[in-house]
Structure 1
Amino acid sequence: MTPEFPRPERVDTIGPREREIAVEANADERERLARRFGLLSLDRLEAAFRVRREQAGIKVSGRVLADLVQPCSASGEPVPAHIDEAVDLLFVDPGSAATDEVELTADALDTIEIENGVVDLGEAAAETVALALDPFPRAPNAAEVLRNAGVLSEEEAGPMSGLAAALKDKLGGR
C-alpha cells in the first residue's frame, strides 16, 4: 500500500544531534487520508517532530495537529474535531523489535520497524491522527436520533432496567 502522506527521512541522514522536521499534508493528501479514515473532511494535518539517532534506533518526538470532521455515529451529521497529540516513537531495525510480551513502563515508546532505510514521518502523523479519532462521535441531537430509532439509553438498558420496569409495573398495578 502506498501511503497517502509520504514524508520519508533516510535513516543514514539522521545523526545523534536532534533535528527538527515539520511536515504538512496538502489538499490532495488530506482528501485521500479522509477517505482512508472515513472522515467527512480533513482540513488540516501538520506535525513538528524532533528526530535523532540513539543506540536503540531513531527517536521521533513532537506534536501532531489536525482539524477534521467526522460523521456522527448515530445520525451521520458532521461532527468537527481538533486533534493535538504528543508523539513519542522509536523506529528500530527490522527484526530487532521485541515480539515477546513485555511490560510497558510510563516512559516506553511505541516501536515501529524501519522500512527500506527510511522513517516515514507523514505516515507517523497520519497514524497518530487515526489513533486519536473519537470512535463514536456524537452530534448534539444523537440521543434523540437514537431514541427515535428505538435504541435504549444506557440507563434504560442497564443491568437493573428489567427489574426496575417490573417493580414499577407491580407498584403501579396496586
Structure 2
Amino acid sequence: MTQVSEFSRVIKLDRLPQDAVTITATSDEVAALARRFGLPSVKNLSATVTLACEGREIGVSGTLIADVEQACAISGEPFANHIVEPIAFRFVPRTDGSSTASPDEEIELDSDQLDEIEYDEAAFDLGEAIAQSLALAIDPYATGPDAEILRREQGITGDDAPSGPFAALAQLKDMGTDADR
C-alpha cells in the first residue's frame, strides 16, 4: 500500500472480521475529507458493512451514513445534507498489469456487477473505499432550501414557459394576438 488515506482503516486478509464492521471517522478525518472533496464541512461519516471472502476477493456490502455541508448548485450558499447510501463493492488482488484497460479508461459496469478495488499484498484499505463511496454519494447538483426562491428571482423556472427578458416580449406578442381576434 503506497498511499495513505485521510480515513485509513487497513484490514488484513488473515484477520478478516466475521461479523459486521462499523467504522467511524474522527473529527480530524472528517475535516481532512472535507478539504479533499471541496466541501465546507463533513460533520460525520460512518459505515456499517459485512465482508464476505470469496477466495482472494472480498465482497463488501452495507450502508454509509454521513452529514455534510455542501454548496448549493444554484446559490453557492452552504446547506446541510444528510446522506444514507447503500454500498457494495469488491476488493480484488492487483493484477500483474496485463489488463487491456488503461488506468484512465472509463469502464461501464452492468447493474449486477460490483465496483472492484484492487489491493496489494495481504491487506486492503476499507476506510479509503468508504471515503470514495462518500465522494460518489454526494450530489454535485444538490440544491439548498432557498434555491427555488433564487430561481424565481432570476426568472429561472423548471417548466418550459419562457422566462427572462424575452418572456415579457412573448407575453406582449400573445396579448397583441389576443386583441386581433
Answer yes or no: same fold by TM over 0.5: yes
Q: Deviations over 1:73-129 (max 9, x none)?
A: 2223231111111221111111289767676243x2221111343221111111111
Distance in 1 separating the partners of 2:151 and 2:108: 41
Identity %: 35
What is residue 123 of structure 2 aligned with on the other side? 118
Q: Deviations over 1:23-42 (max 9, x none)?
A: 11100000010111122221
Q: Which runs of 5+ in 2 are unaligned?
A: 102-106
Letter in 1 for 2:117: I
What is residue 154 of structure 1 aligned with on the other side? 158
What is residue 110 of structure 2 aligned with on the other side? 104
- 2:19 is equivalent to residue 13 of structure 1: no
What is residue 3 of structure 1 aligned with on the other side? 5
Letter in 1 for 2:157: S
What is residue 104 of structure 2 aligned with on the other side? none
RMSD: 3.0
What is residue 44 of structure 1 aligned with on the other side? 44
What is residue 171 of structure 1 aligned with on the other side? 174
Distance 1:166 1:74, change over 3 A: closer
Distance 1:170 1:77, change over 3 A: closer
The answer to whether the 8 A contact 1:79-1:137 is kept is no
Letter in 1 for 2:80: P
What is residue 145 of structure 1 aligned with on the other side? 150
The answer to whether the 8 A contact 1:19-1:52 is kept is no
Match of 1:19, SS state, is: coil
- 2:138 is equivalent to residue 136 of structure 1: no
Shift of residue 50 of structure 1? 1.2
- In terms of mean alpha carbon deviation, does 130-139 or 88-97 score higher? 88-97
Match of 2:157, SS state, is: coil
The answer to whether the 8 A contact 1:5-1:25 is kept is yes
**TM-score of the pair, normalised by structure 1:** 0.78
Shift of residue 167 of structure 1? 5.8
**TM-score of the pair, normalised by structure 2:** 0.75
- In terms of mean alpha carbon deviation, does 116-125 or 160-169 score higher? 160-169
Distance 1:87 1:99, change over 3 A: farther
Letter in 1 for 2:92: V
Match of 1:126, SS state, is: helix
